[in-house]
Amino acid sequence: MVKLSVLDLAYIGEGFTPADALANALDLAQNAEAAGFERFWLAEHHNLAGIASAATAVCICHVAGGTKTIRVGAGGIMLPNHSPLVIAEQFGTLATLFPDRIDLGLGRAPGTDQRTLQALRRDPGASEYFPNDVMELQALLGPPTENQAIHAIPGENTNVPLWILGSSLFGAQLAALFGLPYAFASHFAPQALMQAVSIYREQFKPSAQLAEPYVMVGCNVIVADTEGEAKKLFTSPQQQFAHRLRGGRVKLPPPIDDIEDFWSPMEKAQSPSMLSCSFQGSTATIKEKLAPLIEATGADELMVAAAVWDQKARVRSYQLLAQAMA
């Protein structure tokens, strides 16, 4: 049976604050833990009005400290924005505080725009060093070697599990080469999903961390008691998608009765390709709707995002999903 996990961007809904978003993240994690979800990941994004997880390691500490068993991690840390040593120290500290519960997913994109990248004081070409940075980070989190000059304290020998995140073929090839689990960001960029998963499995080389390929597939899933309610809740991510096309950086909008009254014909025409890994339904239908994605990809795990404006409805969506997939 495919495992289920939660991707939370700590959404800030219209009418709410970052404090609300971070409190909601912990509440969702506690409910996800009770419902049997495998892991709870937060993602690094900067300069976005609707996302409160920019200081990702701090958010992970907040969530891990308020839960007991669920794995908590980054989905992901955009490594070009950081020194590998700093990330090793941050996640080594998390792993020391919460043993055997911390994951570290790594992305190559900056997770922001060029002006914000400059504000982060990062080299625009830093992504070219991503493979070397991953190896450096892996070494810093592993056992010390003779004559090693730089040590991550805490971090050294914590062996925090690394994941490669991606939305292109590059990440698939790198994850295969390093023998790491691979998470594809099909929840927002599904176009290369099938090709990437195929390349990853074909080229995979076993490693000390992983003996066989392991594929996580990102998807947007909203479940409600009725099809009509799920359809209405889904208008929030649909509006979010349209705002992205318009260049807007808005908070997560509340649902509306009819999305056709909101988006333009062009936005509607583009939505099927961008939202092809997005699903909505009731407990009676959602398993059947997800089945083709699971079968086509052979996914070991689904990383589920749910951009639902109302916190109670968002928590219930995950609870209903867990029930439907059990």
Q: Is 173 part of any domain?
A: no
The predicted structure's pLDDT at residue 120: 81
CB-count exposure of residue 251 (10 Å: 0-12, 13-18, 19+): buried
Range of the domain at 12: 1-160
pLDDT score for 110: 67
Q: Which residues of 196-234 are buried (b: 16+ CB within 10 A; e: fewer)?
A: bbebbbeebeeeebbeebbbbbbbbbbbbeeeebbbbbb
SS3 29: helix
* DSSP conformational letter for 254: P
Whether 26 and 143 map to the same domain: the answer is: yes
Burial of 141 (0-12, 13-18, 19+ CB in 10 A): buried
Residue 198 lies in a domain: no
- pLDDT at residue number 33: 98
For the segment 129-153, the average pLDDT, to the nearest whole number, is: 95
Query: Residues in the chain, how many?
Result: 326
Whether the per-residue pLDDT at 24 is higher than 90: the answer is yes
223 and 154 both lie in a single domain: no
Report the mean per-residue pLDDT for the chain.
94
**What domain count does the chain have?**
2
Q: What is the mean pLDDT of residues 284-291?
A: 97
Q: Which two tokens stand for residue 258?
A: 């009819």
Domain annotation covers residue 209 = no
104 close to 162: Cβ distance less than 8 angstroms: yes
Ramachandran region, residue 292 (left: φ > 0; alpha: ψ -120 to 50; beta: rest) = alpha
Q: Are residues 130 and 40 in the same domain?
A: yes
CATH number at residue 18: 3.20.20.30
The pLDDT score that the predictor gives to residue 112 is 66
**44-102 confidence digits (pLDDT tens):** 999 999 999 999 999 999 999 999 999 999 999 999 999 999 999 999 999 999 999 99
**Torsions phi, psi of 16, nearest 5?**
-125, 170
Final residue belonging to a domain, choices 160, 195, 230: 160
115 and 235: one domain? no
For residue range 180-205, what is the model confidence (pLDDT) as tens digits?
Answer: 999 999 888 888 999 999 999 999 99
User: Running DSSP on this structure, what letter comes out for residue 109?
Assistant: S
Model confidence over 103-136: pLDDT tens digits? 999 999 865 677 887 888 777 777 888 999 999 9
* Tokens 């390709």, located at residue: 273
The answer on 142 and 53 residing in a single domain is yes
CA 204, CA 69: separation in Å to the nearest integer?
Answer: 30
Locate 21 and state its tokens.
């978003």
Q: Locate 290 and state its tokens.
A: 């997800």
